[in-house]
Amino acid sequence: MKRILLSLLFVAIAATLVAQSDWAQHDRYAANNDSITARPKAVFMGNSITDNWAKFHPEFFKNNDFIGRGISGQVTSQMLCRFHSDVIELRPKIVVIMAGTNDIAQNNGYIAHEHILQNIQSMCELAKQNKIRPVLCSCLPAAAFKWRPEMKPAEDIKRLNEMIKAYAKANKITYIDYHSALVDERGGLPQKYAKDGVHPNLEAYAIMEKILLENL
């Protein structure tokens, strides 16, 4: 309960500090959220990988009663900030969270792995408090970020995934391992699955869909 109260306090402070710029991009899905009346099976919270997934293969989402709420470039702090409006208010049975890649890329500045995990934990706790079942996903492999060429993120991603998996196991939360099925010898995402080594194509999404549906 203490962590949840702190999470809510964080959200309130963050919202106040960035009200003019809408740092968390609450407006991105506001109109669409207002139009949803039936309780969906699952909402997918994430970054560009989730965002593109819903765009590239909308039939997968429609046919399975899934709703995508990914926003390109976002870090876990931003996802936590908009978690109420983009997840809780939609009353899904499940929330599928895939987050952390952009934190490792330092899109919003440096953040320790432990604090990335804390943001993910806070989303899970908020979901549970609202009778939503959290499902945690691994970050996809990446050997490099084109927008941060000085970085070599493969080991950082692997370490974060291990932390997410351990948290999921300790708290009896389903963990979806995409990383193991997609990683190559460099610790990255093969070009056949992603031209830029980060953002998956339809072939990669097909693999992810199979893994997800088998474990959801």
pLDDT one-digit tens code per residue, 144-179:
998 889 999 999 999 999 999 999 999 999 999 999
Position 112 in a domain: yes
The answer as to whether 177 is a domain residue is: yes
pTM of the model: 0.89
Tell me whether residue 54 is in a domain: yes
Q: Is there a domain that residue 78 lies in?
A: yes
- The CATH number given to whatever domain includes residue 133 is 3.40.50.1110
Q: What pLDDT, on the 0 to 100 scale, is given for residue 10?
A: 52
In a domain, 83, yes or no: yes
Q: Is residue 29 situated within a structural domain?
A: no
In a domain, 67, yes or no: yes
pLDDT in tens, 203-215: 999 999 999 999 9
Q: How confident is the model at residue 21 (pLDDT cuts 50, 70, 90)?
A: confident
Long-range CB contacts (within 8 A, 24+) of 89-93: 89/33, 90/33, 90/36, 90/39, 90/40, 90/43, 91/39, 91/40, 91/130, 91/132, 92/39, 92/40, 92/41, 92/42, 92/43, 92/67, 92/132, 93/39, 93/40, 93/41, 93/42, 93/132, 93/133
Residues 49-87 pLDDT 10s: 999 999 999 999 999 999 999 999 999 999 999 999 999
Flag whether 31 is in a domain: no
- How many domains does the chain contain in total? 1
- Domain range for 137 is 2-18+41-215
